[in-house]
Structure 1
Amino acid sequence: MDEEFYIGGKNAVVEALKANSFIDKLYIAVGAKGQIIDEIIKLAREKGIPVQLVSRDKLDEFYAGKHQGVVAKTPPYVYKEVDDILAIAKNKGEHPFVIILDGIQDPNNLGSVLRTADACGAHGVIIPKNRAVGITPGVIKASAGAIQYVSVARVTNITRTLKELKDVGLWIIGADMDGAINYCDADFKVPVGLVIGSEGYGISRLVKENCDILVKIPMVGKINSLNASIASAILMYEVLRQRNF
């Protein structure tokens, strides 16, 4: 990963400031206005973060996506450990609720998963180091600030991690179009690790073999699969429903 790491977008930057994430410097486009821009500048000054006005062309050099007139320079994302995620659940007195992503490659999908994970109270997300997207500026932007509140661990071997999660009592539930039961019939009130497969390929064979159960989302249309972030959202909200209603 590059030494210089930039995040762009009003929501991503303001949430980073609110969460006390380390920010080296803020760049604001000349002429940028609005309530959120004012809030960003105010928060930065309160925290002693330098703010520099630059041209939009300069912001384009820093950040390739839609920066909305604001870019923050930060250190690269620091991944958590799986044990850190389990500790969050323990400290809250809750059964672990962990999302395991098996090879998600689209930054927008990962960002969307993080947003839903935050909304549904997941304790963390686990991603693989290889053949999958990591926490990039694009993911941070797509998460709309959720990355500041959802712990992400990056592991070398998802299969081994599933076995370790089982050893500490998690029930591993995978989403698969050929699953044995409908997702709403599964018990998500137990400690759970929810496995979501990659775009187009689903859960890999070894990972699938290490799931305790596979669940399916009923579909009556012409297509036979859902976008990974949509499928994960349906399942995460089922966990939330069962645990809170």
Structure 2
Amino acid sequence: MNDKNQIYGLRATIEAIEAERPINKIYLQRGLQGDLFKELETLIRKKGLSSSYVPLEKLNRLTKSNHQGVVASISPVVFQEFGTLVESVISEKSNAFFLLLDHITDVRNFGAIIRTAECCGVDAIVIPKTGAAPITDDTIKTSAGAAFNIPITKVDHLKDAIFYLQSCDVSVVAATEKAENTLYNLNLVDSCAIIMGAEDKGISPSILKIVDHGAKLPMLGKIGSLNVSVACGVVLYEVVRQRLG
């Protein structure tokens, strides 16, 4: 973690949360006690922030400064508010293009996906607040700076984001090998949101139940799946192909 992208100390972290700083994750010393620490824990739960309890040695590796048992990773990118962002896109475009990531955890995969999404004209990327890869220096580097050029928004639950998009007449398409239809049989010219799943588990079953369409990529070799960033590139460029055609 780069020092410029972190905050350490109990009071400093509380103030950062209250100031709505874009926090990736908060690392808390395991077994720490005290009123100020309890106040921080309560605030983390209230805001739905990602956190984990770690040994003192882990915190000492993250920073040489006096961390008081708390180190917070700050995103170099400012996240936008979901509802406001969606309304803005839909009011400006007749064929909005969204990308939802269901718990992508590898920062380099995330960066590569951001880069491709920006190149394909995706209007916004939607990720869950917890359980997703943070935007780190590695993410920025892998995205070739695209993370600064495309709006990214965090939501409490992807299911709620899906219902909201559907209420705005955005067709939600899950890229999954479990689908019967191939991607090439779908109409992706109108407003749509593509969902890509986690590297190991794919898209969660609860999300697959509520999407408008499932779509798979034809696999002609012996390997049964693609790297998620590669698969995402293929899917997004099919949207581009249809819209240009």
RMSD of aligned Cα (Å): 2.3
Partner in structure 2 of residue 226 of structure 1: 226
**Inter-partner Cα distance in structure 1 for 2:89 and 2:241:** 18
Letter in 2 for 1:148: F
Give the 3 Å change call, closer, same or farther, for CA 2–164 of structure 1 in structure 2. farther
Partner in structure 2 of residue 83 of structure 1: 83
**Inter-partner Cα distance in structure 2 for 1:84 and 1:143:** 25
- Deviation beyond 4 Å, 4+ runs, structure 1: none
Partner in structure 2 of residue 23 of structure 1: none
**Inter-partner Cα distance in structure 1 for 2:135 and 2:94:** 26
**Inter-partner Cα distance in structure 1 for 2:75 and 2:156:** 22
- Where does structure 1 lack aligned partners over 5 or more consecutive residues? 7-60, 63-73
TM-score (norm 1): 0.68
Partner in structure 2 of residue 131 of structure 1: 131
TM-score (norm 2): 0.68
Aligned residue pairs, count? 180
1:87-236 map, 5 Å: 87-90=87-90, 92-236=92-236
**Inter-partner Cα distance in structure 2 for 1:3 and 1:121:** 33
Please state how far the C-alpha of 1:131 moved relative to its aligned partner. Answer: 1.2
Letter in 2 for 1:113: I
1:234-245 map, 5 Å: 234-245=234-245
Question: 3-state DSSP class of the match of 1:4?
Answer: helix
* Contact kept in structure 1, 2:75 and 2:134, CA below 8 Å: no
Please state how far the C-alpha of 1:207 moved relative to its aligned partner. Answer: 1.0
* Contact kept in structure 2, 1:85 and 1:123, CA below 8 Å: no
**Inter-partner Cα distance in structure 1 for 2:195 and 2:75:** 29
Question: 3-state DSSP class of the match of 1:104?
Answer: coil
Q: Provide Cα deviations, 1:17-50, integer angstroms capped at 9, x if missing partner.
A: xxxxxxxxxxxxxxxxxxxxxxxxxxxxxxxxxx
* Contact kept in structure 1, 2:75 and 2:136, CA below 8 Å: no
Please state how far the C-alpha of 1:94 moved relative to its aligned partner. Answer: 3.6
Please state how far the C-alpha of 1:200 moved relative to its aligned partner. Answer: 1.7
Letter in 1 for 2:237: Y
- Where does structure 2 lack aligned partners over 5 or more consecutive residues? 7-60, 63-73
Question: 3-state DSSP class of the match of 2:174?
Answer: strand
- Taking only the aligned residue pairs, the percentage that are identical comes to 30
Question: 3-state DSSP class of the match of 2:187?
Answer: coil
Give the 3 Å change call, closer, same or farther, for CA 167–87 of structure 1 in structure 2. closer
Moved more, 153-162 or 129-138: 129-138
* Contact kept in structure 2, 1:171 and 1:193, CA below 8 Å: yes
**Inter-partner Cα distance in structure 2 for 1:166 and 1:199:** 25
Give the 3 Å change call, closer, same or farther, for CA 88–135 of structure 1 in structure 2. farther
Please state how far the C-alpha of 1:84 moved relative to its aligned partner. Answer: 4.2
**Inter-partner Cα distance in structure 1 for 2:162 and 2:242:** 23
